[in-house]
Structure 1
Amino acid sequence: MNTTHAAFLFFADDWGRHPSSAQYLAREFAKFYPVAWVNTIGMRCPRMDGYTLRRGMEKVIQWLRPARFVRKPNDVHVLNPVQIPDWRSPYSRRINCGLIARDLTKYLHERKRRVIGISTLPLPWEWQHNLAVDAWVYYCVDNFAEWPGLDGSLLRADEEHFIRLARLIVAVSEVLCQHISSMGRASYLLPHGIDLECWTNGQILGKKVNYDIPHPCVMWWGLIDERIDWDWINYASRALPDFHFIFVGRMLYVPPAILRTKNVHLMGHVDPCKLPALSRSADVLMMPYIDAPVTRAMQPLKMLEYLASGRPIVARRLPALEKWRGLVSLVADKYAFANAIEQARAQAASLEERTERLQYLRSHTWEAKAQQFLCWLRQHGLIQ
């Protein structure tokens, strides 16, 4: 393979739909190599509900647009291949492979470069073998086979095949590294990073922004779905009736009883660049995940953002969070969760703690993470 003239194809969920580690890495890679991002269909089974209808309309509008560049801060070419919204049917998988291959051929024809495919998803095996990719890299960010609402057996089979095929495997948590090791492959550990400049500047600008947030406020941001322990929220919202529980992000699932709770508020999606300013409105930040295989395997992207906010943090005790137990209040049940929130409100982070947080974050920027990733690619002969 001619590694001097390499190009990268990232396969993941839609660009810009919500923050992801792959998007940060793609921007950093684009400083040195041509990078294209392939928007894929979701892995959830379509349902007859409002979310599926809205999501379907988003994809149709997306497909009608030409390929585009993301010009700030670096050029990333975003491709929107038309696809059938079905991850399971063998016929749909083959058809989608052909549709994606057609769009990739058009994009790659003028570039004359060897192509390295990096996927955060366990792609269908038909794609793995038939797309114009010279070498595959598996960037394992989650154990999707354990996600609620997904076809676990199918995703597990696709992942096993992808792990055998990949030239390089990078995982974001120790649990995921162990998961990959159980299938006979070694992987590199690369925990998530942070855009520290964005958070530092965003908080300074945030002093001039006034969000209409009720206080005392316990805040969450990220995807709102079944991985949140809603029993904890139900208990804490009743045990702490003066506190307001604010959820920021796209909503996939919220129990009806929670929607009727007066001190639980759903703000909807907020542009990620506004999160640093919004974080100034929080009295406490929370991470009430369920304790399940899917959450024990993940490395929450929001963790470093929470640390950068300078706010007190209360979170479920999970393997990926143990190393921050000196900076985060880790709890194991809903009673401790409510108590920790009440205590955290009265305990602002000390100067020593804020300094410790900042020192850690400075060594875990996305620029540093991307350089480490590129180093592994060089070691495996994929780039020069």
Structure 2
Amino acid sequence: MKNCKQVSPRALLVFGEDWGRHPSSTQHIVRSLAAERRVIWVNSICLRRPKLSWRDLLRVTDKLKQWWRGGSESSQSTAIATPKQLTVIAPLVFPAARSSLIRKLNVWLVNRQINKVRQRYAIGSLDLWISLPTAVDWLGHHNESHSLYYCGDDFAALAGVDHQHVSECEAQLVQRVDSVCAASKTIQAKLQRLVGARKRVELLPHGVDIRLFSAPTERPTALSTNKPVAGFYGSIASWLDIDLLANLAQAMPHWHFVLIGAIETDVSALTAIDNIELIGAVPHQQLPSYVQHWQAAILPFRDCAQIKACNPLKLREYLASGTPVISAPFPALQPYRDYVQQVTSLVQWQAALSSCQRPVTASWRRHQQLAVAAESWDIRARQVNRLLQSW
């Protein structure tokens, strides 16, 4: 019998958001893939042009610092650990360029950075993973064996995006890549309409770090209140129902409401309320110590296009923590309807929170954690590996 030589998986070139800025689904899956593959991660090519604002000025400055600090690479991460086999490139580009000449210049600039890393690690064949539609210009430039578009958001409904430009890029991208994957059924249906019968859009839902969120942790010192706590973490953005939170906190002064995350919308209605606490973003590894010690983990979403298309990572993390979950209804909740209290009015929110004041039993925690037991990031990574290896 002939000896069978095991073939190592091809390297992976990824165009995603800034590594470590937010622990996205792409980052979690790619981190698992990096256990067996060499990965080149290219930070965000941007989804819109900068505006004349302090926020955008700071963002541009930060991007320039990333590029300058590491030359062609940046390995700094605050939200998620960087695997040894993953190299992060901070690209030098003109953000969300429209001119064909500038777009070609962007491709040339970034390809120089990518090729330096390929030469350093003697990377031959590779697969291409794109998570941001504006990276469509890099398709076909690296003789990729397989190209994949993974869509984790409905960009047409996402705040802070140049919708027309990104939609045009996405329409080109889904036609040209070998495979298309979507994080939710709503996004899957939308992309399937774009590609028609030419290819099948695969469903690749978000996963969860079950070990991280289910392992018991100590209560953080920042959570010093003696009141029962209702907590949320994630971007404090326009898709949160700020009015609902304000009314709920005022109606339930014996509860403490904790919101963890970067503030991206007007929260003036919340800051004057004594039992609402706004905490800035904390490292992803520290989130279990908060959510495990809340009496309720909440998803107070508005009814909007972005939420209808979303499949939030935090939902699975909440469930893995064993903490009771209360949420406004949205489509991605359906598989978990037996584990989440869905509420639509202030009175229902009050009743749901009141029910969470009872101690949570160990059997309920196990029951809730079993809901996501088969949805680890390693399982999601194996799904991607099977897709890539089929080509």
Taking structure 2 as the reference length, what is the TM-score of the superposition?
A: 0.88
Cα gap change, 1:262 to 1:125, in 2 (>3 Å): same
Partner of 2:66 in structure 1?
62
Cα gap change, 1:86 to 1:178, in 2 (>3 Å): closer
**1:177–1:186 contact (8 Å) kept in structure 2:** no
- Which of 236, 241, 259 is the matching residue for 2:253? 241
**1-structure distance, mates of 2:269, 2:49:** 25
2:205 matched to 1:191?
Answer: yes
Answer with 269-278 or 69-78: which moved more.
69-78
For 1:133-282, list aligned pairs within 5 A: 133-183=144-194, 184=196, 185-201=199-215, 203-204=216-217, 206=218, 209-214=220-225, 215-282=227-294
2:297 matched to 1:285?
Answer: yes
**1:5–1:114 contact (8 Å) kept in structure 2:** no
**2-structure distance, mates of 1:80, 1:169:** 25
Answer with 136-145 or 125-134: which moved more.
125-134
Residues 25-80 of structure 1, C-alpha deviation per residue, up to 9 Å, x if partnerless?
Answer: 11111111111111014324423444323322321221112225587555211111
Cα gap change, 1:122 to 1:237, in 2 (>3 Å): same
Counterpart residue type for residue 18 of structure 1? H
Residues 277-302 of structure 1, C-alpha deviation per residue, up to 9 Å, x if partnerless?
Answer: 12233221111112122111111001
Residues 198-220 of structure 1, C-alpha deviation per residue, up to 9 Å, x if partnerless?
Answer: 2244x33x25x433443322111
**2:50–2:95 contact (8 Å) kept in structure 1:** yes
| Runs of 5+ unmatched residues, structure 1 | none
2:87 matched to 1:77?
Answer: yes
2:110 matched to 1:96?
Answer: no
Q: Tell me the SS of whatever aligns to 2:95.
A: coil
Cα gap change, 1:241 to 1:93, in 2 (>3 Å): farther
**2-structure distance, mates of 1:132, 1:333:** 54
Q: CA deviation at 1:141?
A: 0.6
**1:307–1:357 contact (8 Å) kept in structure 2:** yes
Q: CA deviation at 1:134?
A: 4.6
**2-structure distance, mates of 1:58, 1:38:** 15
Cα gap change, 1:233 to 1:88, in 2 (>3 Å): farther
Answer with 90-99 or 146-155: which moved more.
90-99
- Which of 296, 309, 315 is the matching residue for 2:321? 309
- Which of 8, 27, 32 is the matching residue for 1:28? 32
Q: CA deviation at 1:308?
A: 1.7
Partner of 1:42 in structure 2?
46
**2-structure distance, mates of 1:256, 1:91:** 44
Q: CA deviation at 1:362?
A: 2.7
Counterpart residue type for residue 336 of structure 1? Q
**2-structure distance, mates of 1:73, 1:8:** 13
Counterpart residue type for residue 107 of structure 2? C
Q: Tell me the SS of whatever aligns to 1:97.
A: helix
**Cα-Cα RMSD:** 2.3
Partner of 1:120 in structure 2?
131
Partner of 1:339 in structure 2?
351
Cα gap change, 1:375 to 1:19, in 2 (>3 Å): same
Q: Tell me the SS of whatever aligns to 1:144.
A: coil
Cα gap change, 1:5 to 1:32, in 2 (>3 Å): closer
Counterpart residue type for residue 36 of structure 2? F
Percentage identity across paired residues of the two chains? 27
Cα gap change, 1:95 to 1:223, in 2 (>3 Å): farther
Answer with 114-123 or 347-356: which moved more.
347-356
Q: CA deviation at 1:340?
A: 2.0
**2:326–2:341 contact (8 Å) kept in structure 1:** yes
**1-structure distance, mates of 2:160, 2:127:** 30
| Runs of 5+ unmatched residues, structure 2 | 1-6
Answer with 217-226 or 330-339: which moved more.
330-339
Cα gap change, 1:48 to 1:378, in 2 (>3 Å): same
**2-structure distance, mates of 1:91, 1:258:** 47
**2:242–2:269 contact (8 Å) kept in structure 1:** no
Q: How many residues align?
A: 374
Counterpart residue type for residue 241 of structure 1? P
Cα gap change, 1:211 to 1:322, in 2 (>3 Å): same
Taking structure 1 as the reference length, what is the TM-score of the superposition?
A: 0.89
**2-structure distance, mates of 1:106, 1:235:** 55
